[in-house]
Amino acid sequence: MRISGPNTSAVLSRICSRRSFAPHVQHLTVLRDEAGATVDQVTVVFNPQPRSYTGEDLAEIGCHANPIVVERILGVIASTGLARRAAPGEFTMRAFLNGKMDLVQAEAVRAFIESTTDAGCDMARRLLEGGLSSRIKKLRASISEILADIEASFISEDEVVAAEELAARIEPLAAELAGMSGDACRGLKVYGGVTTTIAGLPNVGKSSLFNAIVGSDRAIVHHEEGTTRDVIRERVTIDGMDFLFHDTAGIRTTPSGPEQAGVERAIAAVKASDLLLYVVDARVGLQPHESQWLGLGGTTILVVNKIDLVKEPAITETGYRTVMVSAKHSTGIDALKSAMVETFRPANPEVFLDRHAHLLSEASRHLDSCLSALSQGMTLDVASIELSGALRALGAITGESADMDILEQVFSRFCIGK
């Protein structure tokens, strides 16, 4: 547990058998209550300001991991009247307010803690190291320089700024922001998990494929059409990426009853998916009426199954990536997994948090509007307004122009103790 703030030393002297702590050194000591009774033998590391996580005096207390003991220690600390329990994210918020990190890096702490995949941990670590922060600060500096030149032209007649020159300076910045906004969509999926739906006509081997990918008999495999009447869900990690699998009923038109309900849920799952694995039987290929379902999801991979039953699979040119497999014998499953990962993994996804993606999109929109205003011969006042809007959006990402309401909203999502 942590204690941070100007009263840290006073709290330690009240509750510990030691009266002084050398900085940044782990000390073994006895922690006592107000009556002098021993509560636990603990370790204490005292980190004086500014060389601490929060930038304030901070103590790290290590105790035995019994919830009862932990509660007793928290009670002893509170009884001094010099400290209180921290709000969610308060330690990291203090670190931000004291200049130990910017808002992007603060959010990276939460992303690191909440990540459930190797890919997510790597993305959060890079965010914490400041790569995105540095890129955004450079963009802000470039926009600020352009805005300063425009404002100088308002003051002095000698300062003349041509619209063509401004556009030439803004265009590469707008292109960079557009690229970052585009990558954000995939980054969000890589971090949070790619919603993946397996669909196709009845009896093409969807459940067998599901089991082959998942690695267990999670779905019922049966020769009778319409066996899977509901959507089966499973989380699978492939090469450090999470795929949230939905195995669905066969898509077809049925008159009524449970099967029709299953088909409706299947189509809804396809529409909501980031990745659609559309399965066809290698013996018959893709039927003409199936094309209507291929583009319903985000990205589609056509999976030609049961290649073990034919010499030459029936393949229809669709424009979608096609992988041939035998789910029964697990042939081609590794190739399919590789295709799935390659489809969604950018080289180094920098943007994967919703707040960042939204603000980048807003900044991009402002620069596009600025370029449009310049091309239409509007006054530099309009360009100045749009550039200022882009600056505010980018500053809100790093925290330079974020108000307290935004900060409280961001840090309230943290767990206690961070």
Mean pLDDT along residues 74-80 = 95
Alpha carbon distance 321, 304 (integer Å): 11
What type of residue sits at position 345? R
Tokens of residue 309, six digits: 């039953």
In a domain, 91, yes or no: no
Alpha carbon distance 42, 65 (integer Å): 11
Place of tokens 């295709």: 339
Asked if residue 218 has pLDDT above 60, the reply is no
Please give the residue range of the domain that contains residue 174: 105-188+353-411
CATH number of domain containing 280: 3.40.50.300
In a domain, 293, yes or no: yes
Count of C-beta atoms within a 10 Å radius of residue 133: 21
| Low-confidence winner among 38-42, 214-218, 238-242, 357-361 (lowest mean pLDDT) | 214-218
CATH number of domain containing 44: 3.30.1360.120
In a domain, 323, yes or no: yes
241 vs 24, higher pLDDT? 24
Q: What is the pLDDT of residue 222?
A: 38
Secondary structure class of 197 (helix, strand, coil): strand
Contact predicate 410/96, CB 8 Å: no
Asked if 57 and 184 sit in the same domain, the reply is no
- Quick one: CA dihedral 111, 114, 116, 121, positive or negative? positive
Query: Tens of pLDDT along 241-298?
Result: 888 887 666 666 554 555 566 667 778 878 888 899 999 999 999 888 888 888 888 8
Asked if 164 and 223 sit in the same domain, the reply is no
| Low-confidence winner among 133-142, 210-219, 310-319, 386-395 (lowest mean pLDDT) | 210-219
Tally of structural domains, the chain: 3
In a domain, 94, yes or no: no
Asked if 182 and 234 sit in the same domain, the reply is no
Asked if residue 227 has pLDDT above 60, the reply is no
Asked if 239 and 113 sit in the same domain, the reply is no
Secondary structure class of 250 (helix, strand, coil): coil
Q: What is the pLDDT of residue 232?
A: 52
Asked if 339 and 198 sit in the same domain, the reply is yes
Asked if residue 7 has pLDDT above 60, the reply is yes
In a domain, 93, yes or no: no
Place of tokens 């199954």: 305
Asked if 237 and 251 sit in the same domain, the reply is yes
Given 285, 318, 344, the domain boundary residue is 344
Question: Could you give phi then psi for residue 13, rounded to 5 degrees?
Answer: -65, -25
CATH number of domain containing 145: 1.20.120.430
Q: Where are the beta strands (DSSP E) in 309-397?
A: 321-324
Contact predicate 264/248, CB 8 Å: no
Express as a percent the part of the chain with pLDDT over 70: 90
Mean pLDDT along residues 341-357 = 83
Alpha carbon distance 366, 198 (integer Å): 39
Distances from the Cα of 333 to the Cαs of 117, 239, 330, in angstroms?
21, 14, 6
In a domain, 223, yes or no: yes
Alpha carbon distance 121, 260 (integer Å): 41
C-alpha closest to that of 133 among 178, 99, 159: 99
